[in-house]
Structure 1
């Protein structure tokens, strides 16, 4: 990679589905929560959850859980006003599954998430002069658990759920880039790597608000959609239609050379 290109690029990563596999953690907690609040009448499938998230506005898994509950009862003829779901109760139940019953001692599904990225990959980006950071809808506790405890990163640049509005609002992406640029020169090309339609919409919105930089969305297929070629292809098409410049099966395929080629292609 040329120094000219590397000093201008930064990569921002989503976490869930990109850095860690959440198909048996966050998504399992969604299914558990919906099943509990529908009194075991409905447990959403992975495809049900994907279809909801393809709408581009359900990045928050607590809100996604609540929406699936509402939609189930709506089909049964009950209005949202009649249900009067307690959102805090939905969140509490979800967290009891995802984090575990003791919020100060993580013992839930979060403990069993396979990593999709190794710290050596981030070292390669650094050596190539590419800055990086994280913008995620996960809570700070959850995000730091995987970044610091699992990957061993030391105080990485991170904007989490508590720090910015939910995606596709690009405020958190802007804040991440701002933190990255606090210690280095301004980057003219920003690559955001995510696994959902909301992630790609976030890039589109960032581009519309800041034309001084080149904003590039890169999609990653979460592991649960890679079980069949049909689902992989359908999910890839969904991300491409939402604005992804390319779709990868694993984030580590986005090498420094690939980043250079991608920026050159987009800027051509």
Structure 2
């Protein structure tokens, strides 16, 4: 008879802005892409990008880039239907900046992303009987680059862009949890850790679709919003308003003691 395992909670992590700092990579690639497709007329600031993402539906950075291009030209009086933007060309340009131009050896901004957590943190969760995995809007290649190559994790549970609809649709979160709870003899609380409004909305929608489970949203402030107290506080309030039960300055502050504190 297979022994059933016990766990105190399941923690699912977003990756961008939580596991890695993407202010100089994904967000820089957004700015480069918008600048290129507006013929150098407009380069969105970090605040411009945050304001777009605060709408809760622009988790995909390729789509976010396209939307910022549309809005720039719209402000110049050019309607969307007349622009005929080539989405595939936007994606290709973005990837050339983020990954680099060599498909076999990545040389782009992804190579220099600072890590926001270390493997010992995840080991601490495991020792405390807390299961963990990842649900991200990043491509599987990009996510695995950071998880396996940079952090050295061995085949972690991961649901990536190719595996599920974009957030705030909670399908990918459900799929991650399904993998993590195999073999468990109970239904533990689920914590989703993210840095955007879309991440918190994902938890809210999960709760609506599966109200019999405990769903907890934990917000993490990405590094680029912590440069001034006013910016930090405003961003934190936005995450709380979107459904976060707590907002932390770094993911590693969600340690076993903090997890125990926020569990019902």
Instruction: Give your verdict on TM over 0.5.
Output: yes
- For 1:188 and 1:246, the matched residues in 2 are separated by 19
Corresponding residue number in structure 1 for 2:143: 143
* Structure 1 stretches of at least 4 aligned residues deviating more than 3 Å after TM superposition: 183-187
**Partner of 2:134: helix, strand, or coil?**
strand
Corresponding residue number in structure 1 for 2:198: 198
TM-score normalised by length of structure 1 = 0.95
- For 1:185 and 1:18, the matched residues in 2 are separated by 30
2:133 corresponds to 1:159: no
- For 1:77 and 1:234, the matched residues in 2 are separated by 31
- For 1:187 and 1:167, the matched residues in 2 are separated by 23
Corresponding residue number in structure 2 for 1:123: 123
Corresponding residue number in structure 1 for 2:104: 104
- For 1:134 and 1:154, the matched residues in 2 are separated by 13
- For 2:143 and 2:152, the matched residues in 1 are separated by 12
Unaligned stretches of 5+ in structure 1?
A: 1-5
Alignment: residue pair count: 259
Task: Output one character per residue of 1:211-239: Cα deviation in whole Å (capped at 9) or x when no partner.
Answer: 12100000000000000000000000000
Unaligned stretches of 5+ in structure 2?
A: 1-5
**Partner of 1:116: helix, strand, or coil?**
coil
Corresponding residue number in structure 2 for 1:82: 82
Q: What is the Cα deviation at residue 186 of structure 1?
A: 4.2
Q: What is the Cα deviation at residue 72 of structure 1?
A: 0.0
TM-score normalised by length of structure 2 = 0.97
**Partner of 1:24: helix, strand, or coil?**
coil
- For 1:207 and 1:156, the matched residues in 2 are separated by 25
2:64 corresponds to 1:36: no
